[in-house]
Structure 1
Amino acid sequence: MKHVIALAAGGTGGHLFPAEALARELMARGHDVVIHTERRGAQYTQALAGIAHVVLPASSLEGGVAAKVRAVLTILRGLLASRSDMKRRKVTAVVGFGGYPSFAPALAAKSLGLPLLLHEQATHLSKANRQLLRFADGLATSFPQVAGADGFDTGRIVETGNPVRQSILAARGDYPAFGDDLPLRLLVVGGSQSAAVFGRVVPPALLALPAGIRQRLQVSLQYKGDDADAIARQLHDAGVDARVQPFFDDMGQRLRDAHLVVTRAGATTAADLLTIGRPAIFVPLPHGGAREEQKRNAETLAQAGVGWHVPEADLTPDALAALLRQAFTSPTRLPDAARAAAALGRPDAASRLADAVERLL
């Protein structure tokens, strides 16, 4: 039976990309889908191509009393707009992907008596999902164990994995050949906002490596600083084959080719790595609302053998050089970590999540 399903997603890629993946799976099954997001999410035009979407007013509840009052009024406007759209489209269920912009559509769903399924991308419930859990009819998780859902009926929790983009699924493949005299491919990415710390720490760490390793390195460094060209020249002069760019639009290919990734620890980044099966050095955000979430993700994945968790305060050139030297000189450490990553990957996550939605209906 054909249904109309609304997906509520925050404005970051970490929320919007899983929503996109589910949307395309549901559409392939014959359902109609609309994504309710906010201004930032609407900027992901490629992800939203061919998918109906609504841009809602949204605001965080952080700040003082005056800021909270303004935020509540903004959320109320978003709720009314979302509710009106759901009634017009005859929506039959809502899936929330977290982020404060998901509040309004989730509350609109409950005001209309629609079933609400929450999806959690991380190893710990996000602030938004924790607040919305009381209204939820089901919870889908990306990992076998997710903290913060205490008291919620375990019979209504299903592990689906975190849906990833088609370009990531298409990049799945065997771990690249690894051994003496073969190239060593290092990918350094800091998410959609890049990470200035990687531009400061990674180049001197690479320069500190033995010449035998430097001359085998093929480095892709995402960096937006004004000195990007100077960094690239410095690395080339030291024998490192390096590409320094503000953005890589072929991320699936670069992940597939990489022997090791240096990255933040966001949930979507983790899902991409696990789906393709690549080891990583995880450097969580040092501050902000996502700090604890990323820290827990990094700790969980490091404990599972997927790689290393390095707090940003400990990420010095000397420390990173020592870690890279250890990883690249061991014949087993990186291939073993790649196998651990692949074992946690859920390439069928979109299908499993769509099954959960259909069961809820």
Structure 2
Amino acid sequence: MTQVVLAGGGTAGHTSPLIATAQRLQEVQPDIDVTAVGTAKGLESRVIPAAGLPLVLIPPVPLPRSLSPRLLTVPFRLGKAVVEARRVLRRAGADVVVGFGGYVALPVYLAAATLRIPVVVHEQNAVPGLANKVAARFARAVVTSFPHTPLPNARALGLPVRRGISELDRDAARPAARAALGLDGHRPTLLVSGGSQGARRLNVATRDALPRLLAAGVQVLHVLGPRNLTADTVPVSDAETGARYLPVAYVDRMEDAYAAADFMVGRAGAGTVAETAVVGLPALFVPLPHGNGEQARNAEPSVSAGASLLVVDEELTADRLLAEVLPLMSDHETLAAMSAAGRGLVPGDAAGALAHVVLGAAEVQ
């Protein structure tokens, strides 16, 4: 029986492709044994067990974004996490490690290297993170979501997504999805989501634009992020049009949100860019202005293909959101063209392709 350990966590950008790959591995080889490794601080502590996958926790090793005394503690904390990761790999009898980046991935990569266990790296962003840059130097295989990601010997296979998304027929699923979410089945629907943590800029712009969106008859499903859903954030309806605003902390089945929506406003994380393209959901991307610029790079192929629009973070006001979104909500021809442009943009079965890479690495160790 093949033993696979998958490492990745922190945000949905890491956990979603991990879950999709683990599930596809189980489909390809039903007797396979998979173990996920994460930290208690990340989203993985909830979503991975919810997906029915075993999760083992090790200490997180976040790297300070600036020079500070905490930087001096990194070697000690990293060494401790590597020791814990070695115990996990030995206990699991790992034949191969597949990592998706994030704080948890680096100690698992290093532990695998010391135990001579083959490593497969998947980088979801167009600009790679530190953990995957390190691991790519000794990995058996390096796989990316986007072409031209600067990692040695990388192959672009796309971003693994769950079958619920890769096989989604939005038109067929829309009535049931809107009913499940408590939305009107026939109104133009805007989805706003800043990812698993939410996004303040998107939330503020949406809040300020909300009266005019509802007055135009557009209903809004707003995924704020768990920390941003307060007692004051409640559903409201426009007295004249009846259009409804539905705020939620998080959506476990994003395929329902994608099916319900006619258009989306969101960040440009790799998962959002890939999933909206796969399902053919037109979008306005507002890349996160921090980090190493990976979100703007993630969105470039989609924007160039005409599947999405882009507004830089500092320019997203209520007026700009309304100017970009409202004309499209009733322009069915343009929305259909954007949808078609997205569907042909990214591979739909990256999870299957990556699963075969992982199994191949396990066989030749």
TM-score, with structure 2 as normaliser = 0.85
In the other structure, the counterpart of 1:94 is 97
Which letter maps to 1:51?
Answer: L
Residue of 205, 230, 233 corresponding to 1:228: 233
Question: Contact between 2:277 and 2:302, CA under 8 Å: does it hold in 1?
Answer: no
Matching of residues 256-271 of structure 1 within 5 Å: 256-271=259-274
Q: Distance in 2 between matches of 1:53 and 1:209?
A: 42
Q: Distance in 1 between matches of 2:9 and 2:121?
A: 13
Question: Contact between 1:172 and 1:275, CA under 8 Å: does it hold in 2?
Answer: no
Identity %: 32
Which letter maps to 1:25?
Answer: R
Task: Answer with 3-12 or 237-246: which moved more.
Answer: 237-246
Give unmatched runs, 5+ long, in structure 2: 176-185
Q: Distance in 1 between matches of 2:43 and 2:298?
A: 27
Q: Distance in 2 between matches of 1:309 and 1:293?
A: 14
Question: Contact between 2:38 and 2:44, CA under 8 Å: does it hold in 1?
Answer: no
Question: Contact between 1:206 and 1:321, CA under 8 Å: does it hold in 2?
Answer: no
Q: 1:339 to 1:42 in 2, by over 3 A?
A: closer
Question: Contact between 1:236 and 1:242, CA under 8 Å: does it hold in 2?
Answer: no
Q: 1:43 to 1:142 in 2, by over 3 A?
A: closer
Q: Distance in 2 between matches of 1:236 and 1:302?
A: 36
Matching of residues 22-171 of structure 1 within 5 Å: 22-28=21-27, 29=29, 30-41=31-42, 43-49=44-50, 50-62=52-64, 63-64=66-67, 66-143=69-146, 145-149=147-151, 152-153=152-153, 157-169=154-166, 171=168
Q: How many Å apart are 1:239 and its aligned residue?
A: 4.7
Give unmatched runs, 5+ long, in structure 1: none
In the other structure, the counterpart of 2:248 is 245
Q: How many Å apart are 1:234 and its aligned residue?
A: 6.6
Q: How many Å apart are 1:79 and its aligned residue?
A: 0.8
In the other structure, the counterpart of 2:192 is 188
Which letter maps to 1:220?
Answer: L
Q: Distance in 2 between matches of 1:203 and 1:102?
A: 36
Q: Distance in 1 between matches of 2:340 and 2:283?
A: 12
Q: Secondary structure at the match of 1:124?
A: coil
Q: Distance in 2 between matches of 1:257 and 1:44?
A: 28
1:272 and 2:275 matched: yes
Alpha-carbon displacement from aligned partner over 1:142-174 (angstroms, at most 9, x marks no partner): 12x13322xx23xxx332221123443453334
Which letter maps to 1:66?
Answer: P
Alpha-carbon displacement from aligned partner over 1:111-154 (angstroms, at most 9, x marks no partner): 111211110111222232122221222111112x13322xx23x
Q: Secondary structure at the match of 1:100?
A: coil
Question: Contact between 1:98 and 1:129, CA under 8 Å: does it hold in 2?
Answer: yes
Task: Answer with 219-228 or 53-62: which moved more.
Answer: 219-228
Which letter maps to 2:61?
Answer: S
Q: Distance in 2 between matches of 1:42 and 1:83?
A: 23
Q: Distance in 2 between matches of 1:307 and 1:360?
A: 36
Q: 1:284 to 1:94 in 2, by over 3 A?
A: same
In the other structure, the counterpart of 1:17 is 16
Q: How many Å apart are 1:273 and its aligned residue?
A: 1.4
Which letter maps to 2:361?
Answer: L
Matching of residues 333-348 of structure 1 within 5 Å: 333-348=334-349
Task: Answer with 321-330 or 134-143: which moved more.
Answer: 321-330
Alpha-carbon displacement from aligned partner over 1:169-192 (angstroms, at most 9, x marks no partner): 453334879xxxx63211111111
Question: Contact between 1:12 and 1:40, CA under 8 Å: does it hold in 2?
Answer: no
Q: How many Å apart are 1:31 and its aligned residue?
A: 1.6
Q: Secondary structure at the match of 2:41?
A: helix
Q: 1:74 to 1:306 in 2, by over 3 A?
A: same
Q: Distance in 2 between matches of 1:239 and 1:309?
A: 30
Question: Contact between 1:19 and 1:97, CA under 8 Å: does it hold in 2?
Answer: yes
Alpha-carbon displacement from aligned partner over 1:283-310 (angstroms, at most 9, x marks no partner): 12233x3x61212213332122221111
Residue of 200, 204, 210 corresponding to 1:200: 204
In the other structure, the counterpart of 2:182 is none
Question: Contact between 1:123 and 1:300, CA under 8 Å: does it hold in 2?
Answer: no
Q: Secondary structure at the match of 2:251?
A: coil
Question: Contact between 2:209 and 2:319, CA under 8 Å: does it hold in 1?
Answer: yes
Q: How many Å apart are 1:46 and its aligned residue?
A: 4.1
Q: Distance in 2 between matches of 1:210 and 1:56?
A: 46
Q: How many Å apart are 1:317 and its aligned residue?
A: 1.6
Q: Distance in 1 between matches of 2:346 and 2:200?
A: 29
Q: Distance in 2 between matches of 1:210 and 1:12?
A: 31
